[in-house]
Amino acid sequence: MNYSEKKYLGIDWGKKRIGLALGDSETRLASPFCVVSQASEIIDIINKEKIDYLIIGQPIKMSGAKDNLGEDFEEFLNFIKNNCDIPVELIDERLTSKAADALSGTKKTKAARDSLAAMIILQSYFDKTNGRDF
């Protein structure tokens, strides 16, 4: 890894499953990584993979209002922020699950859908920031 290269973890949060994707500042491409069921597993992955930045999809309704899962999401977000010392950026995740379904082309498991949604969240961050880190 290049000394200046930074590693990113994209997160598609859900109450039952949390999709994860990896990317780096050199290629600025996101790839599906895995699915976990607990926030504590993310902390282990952050340490094992030496993640520098977290990009988390924020549940928002199509109207722009916060999703009904707001309290659960805030609890998840607070756990992450309190248990790791790396920058976190929130990204609007509207339609990422539908886009993940379109990418899969076939009926895949929900786990594959969640990691694909995380990939879309992270890739949209890379595309939006156009080569700039936090």
Q: How confident is the model at residue 101 (pLDDT cuts 50, 70, 90)?
A: low
Q: Residue 130 contacts by C-beta under 8 Å, 6 or more apart in sequence?
A: none
Q: Closest Cα partner for 120 from 46, 57, 36?
A: 57
Domains of the chain (ranges, CATH numbers): 8-129 (3.30.420.140)
Pair 117, 96: CB distance under 8 Å: yes
pTM (2 d.p.): 0.82
pLDDT (0 to 100) of residue 113: 81
Helix or strand holding residue 92 (H, E):
strand 88-92
Q: Across residues 103-125, what is the average pLDDT?
A: 77
pLDDT (0 to 100) of residue 3: 58
Q: Closest Cα partner for 35 from 50, 55, 13?
A: 13
